[in-house]
Each structure stands twice: as C-alpha cells, then as structure tokens.
Structure 1
C-alpha cells in the first residue's frame, strides 16, 4: 500500500461491493430454502421410484451448492465491509497530513518524504539555516522504517548533510512541523498496509476451484475460510462481542445491531454467537446450524477415534435438524470441545417454557 494508492482509495466502493455479495448471499439462501422446503417436499410427496430418488439426490446437490454460495458470499461481504471500515482511519490521517503540508507549501514525494524550506538564522554565519527533505518514522523497528534505516541516520536529506553526526537543519523553524507531517504519513501508510495485507490474505483463501463439488472436504475448507476471515476482521467485529457481559447486556447489544451487522456476525463467528447466552434463540439456532456443517467438514478431515465419534454424533444431530418436529427443534449450543457437546431445545424458550436437553459424547 503506497501513498498514491491510499490517497485514491475509496472505502465506499468496497462497501458497495460487499452489498453486492450480500445480495448474492441472500438470493442463494432464498433459493436453497425454496429447494429444501418447497420443491423437494412436493416431489417427495408426489413421486416414488428410482427416478424420484435420483431427482431428490440432484436437488440435494443443488441445495448444497446454494448453501456453499451463501456461506462464501457472506464471508466475502464481511471481509470487504471490514476492510472498508478499517481503512477509513489511516486514509483520513493521510489526507489530513497532505492537506497540512499543502497549506504550508511543503512538497510531499510519492514515498511520503516531506521537503521544507530554509528558515531561521545561523548564529555563527548569519546565513539562513538550510531546508531539506525529511523521512517519516512509522514507529516500527524493522527495515521497513525508512526513518530509522535510511537514507541516513537522521532520516534526513539535505545539501549540506555531509556529516551524519551534525544536523545542518537544527534551528530551522520548519523542521519540527515537517517531521510531524512525515511521521503521520508514515504511520498512516504502515497501518494501511497492515490492514490491506490482512484482508488480502483472508480473501485469497475464499477463491474456489473451477468445477467445485460441494462435499465434506469443501466444508472443511469453508471452516478454515471462516476462521481466516474472522481473524482478519477481529478489530472490526470480534472485539465488539460482549463476551464478558450479562445475558441481558448481550441481548441489548444484539437488538441494537443492524440486520447487516447481525448477518456478518452470524457468517464470521457462528461458533461464538451460537453459544452465547442472551442472544435470541432464533439467531443462535441459525448460527449453530451453520456451525454444524463446518464442524462436520473439519472433523471429516481427521482420522482418530475421538473425532470419528464426534462426527457420528454431529451427523445424527444434523439429520434431526432436517426433520420436521412438533414443537420445532432449536440448537442452542454446539461444539467439538472435549468429547463434543450439543444443547437442544424443543420449542423456542424465548417464546414459552420448553424442554432443553444437553448432550455430550
């Protein structure tokens, strides 16, 4: 991320792209629901035989494709929104620093170096103290910090800087302001590059192979994708989850989120939201149903007895979730900690008293 790129970057364009992926996610979700609840159900009631069974298999495959599209587009939308939100601050600081430099008449190079004019008076010679070009210190200790590692030990360019032990610009009244502007530019560029690298790495993981067939291996990969995007967006979303608050405070937090924000939390942190007391039951159930698929994919990649046992249990829970029950089944908790666990409620406890069962394997 260089100065020219950050200056020209428009965060709103990434937010608009996120909205586009969110729209595709919503369409895929609606299509999957129609396949599962309308088309498949109607065909199952009206048809029997080998042809009907083959058609049902194809519908299940179509539903899985829509589901995968829904999840991945939700992750992309969350990543783009996270980048758009986080990049605003360093871009604003860069813009403010550049505007201040322009107001003072200090040229700024493409790499962020700030040139300042001669000023003040040399008490020995009576001459003006020379100006120069100063490099910003971005606060890091690594070689990327040109304010420490170059072009000279003072981070200064100047026509009279023949001896690094002597700063020929000392006493120039413009020096401190130029240094301040250069440092702010360097900090903004460093922060922007860190944000850009973090989200680029997460988004690269979301690229699907051509001709992808959705199966357990795909969901294992999707589980890794979810973890990658969730990690990238930690500053943007995860750090705001009220983990240490009361259930009432969590409910209040959730109620004050927009639907878009809720969708992002459900997409990026289903394991957290699904197990958090205070979050509405319907939202927890949605998150946990999503997480079941991810956990099954992750456990399918393992080859040990404990994982196989948990996998069998999760598949059993998934089958029950697909069955119609009266009252309806809500999944209030799911995880692969220890021997695996699940919390199931028959009926919505947010509406009326229900029977809740804790399952451990």
Structure 2
C-alpha cells in the first residue's frame, strides 16, 4: 500500500482560501459590533467592486498597483530576501516616470512616451534597490533594515523635490505641473470605445495589460531561466548554492534590481495613467501592502494576480461601504489587517488540521479501494 501524500493544492490553494474565509468571518463580528448587518455589508462591497462597470474598473485599477508591488516582493522572496523597500522603490520609480512625462510629454504622443517611461521607471526603481542589495551582498547589512531606511530617504527626497524643485511657482500644493495631455495613458473605456464597446469611465488604463505582461515575465524568469534557477537555489540554501558555483553576490544584486524595477513600474498606473502629475505620497502604502499580496499569492505570479484582485476588492468595496453606510474609510484598513493577519502572521495556523483531515479522508478511501 502506497503512502498518501498531501498534494500541493492543499497548501497553495485551499489553505489561503481558508485563511481569507476566517478573516472575513472575524470581520463579520466587527460589522455586528458597529451595528451593520455583515451579509448586507458583503453584498454592498461585492456589488461596489464587481457589480457594475465603473466599480469593476476601479477594482482592476487598484489591483494593477498591487500586481507591481506584489511581484517585486515575491521575486526577492525567491532569493531569501525580505524586500521591505517596495514603498520607496515605487516612489522613486514614479519619479522616473514623472520626469519622462514632464520632459517628453510636450513633444511626443503617449505611445512614444510610454515605453520610455517604462525604462525610466524600471531604472529608477532598480537604482534605489541597488544600494541595499550591495550592502547586503558585500557588507552583510540586513536587507530588511536597509530597505526600510531607504523608504524614509525616498520620502524625504521626494518631499524636497516637490517643494523646492518640481513645484510650479503659482501654487502652494506639493505637486508637479500637470503632464501634457498627449502623454496620458489611454483609459480602458477609451480604448474599448474605438471598437464600439461602451464602458463606464474609470481610472483603469493601459498599464493593466503591462502588469499582466510582468506576471508572465516573472513566471518565465523565475521558473524557466538559468538566472531564475540560481535565484531559487540561493533562496533554498545559500551555502549549497555557493558549493554549486553560484555567485551569491551577483544573485543578490540581480534579484534586488529586478525587484526594484518591478516596484518602479507602479508609477505608470498611478501617475501616467491617472493622476497625470507627481504628487506627494502618491504610493499611499501600496508598497507595504505588496508584502501581504506576495505572502497570500505564495510568491507565484498567478497567486499575486489573485491576491491583487482581492485587495482591489477590499479597496473599492470598502469605498462603496463607506459611501453606503457612512462608516469611516479606516474600516478598509482593518479589513486589510485581518486578511494580512490570517494570511501572513497566522498563515500556517490551520495547516496541520487541513493536512490531517486530508490524510484521514483519503487514507481511508485508498485503504477501502485496496
């Protein structure tokens, strides 16, 4: 009789689903406490996020940002690196995107500005991740500490630039001038209207498709390239990887550069696609939430995509809930915190029970068949 093994889908798919379900059950207690029917609240959130075209567009718009920051964290995880600097890397990457739009937007259409903005955003984000990577690889400085410090440095640098360098003379707002209209990324409803398809206006723009392309790129790079194999080897066992001839310093730097590049693409969606100017704090915590997205998605592009949709749902559904019931928008932060708690800090709390249940059920079925 062969020994029954727990399949991967129990850990990869079933366990996150159970964690999210428990988070929503605990959220239901919160709604009951504030005198809101949890079933009605769930209906409002679902309808607001997926029930009509405009809401669905907002959900995908938020999910686009989470895809970029979630992929950035997941790539670093594969090398055993905990990149907490997605917030700062997205901030500086957005600076690169914004500078391209500010300088070239007056002279070139969006389809010329967009690929250059991709390059600039990636380079700026990668450059911001390079120094912590070098310090980790060469000096032994812990990547968590250095990337957190670089988040604060990025915030201070952007505050200085937006107050003393990029701010127009005729305003007190900490923001750059508006990009030229010709550099704005097309919105989804604008693209669909060309084919005669009517869709309600929303911030969803062309960068959503680029985010999907990044998911494909990460999948091919991590699981179907020599560099990806070396990254996973270093993440699994740095000492064994070194004995196998893999250069630890090169892999750490390469991984963090790619991670910072992915985070740097965040500005494409928010700045070139929606705000059309560089504003203070435009990242709005998406870099930190990307950590939860990567954890929930088990560091796989498909998982990151699904987790991004979940957090997009929480953002948009929470906004609808706030409008419908007049509750504080911070309720969304609480919901996110519960999802992060059960999917991150307590992600393995139900794992032993699930595995025992699976083995008990399928061991009996196999014994009966034998």
Which TM bucket (shorter chain)? under 0.3
Q: TM-score, normalised by structure 2?
A: 0.25
Q: TM-score, normalised by structure 1?
A: 0.25
Higher strand share: 1
Higher helix share: 2
Kindly indicate whether structure 1 or structure 2 has the higher relative contact order, using CA contacts under 8 Å at least 6 residues apart: 2
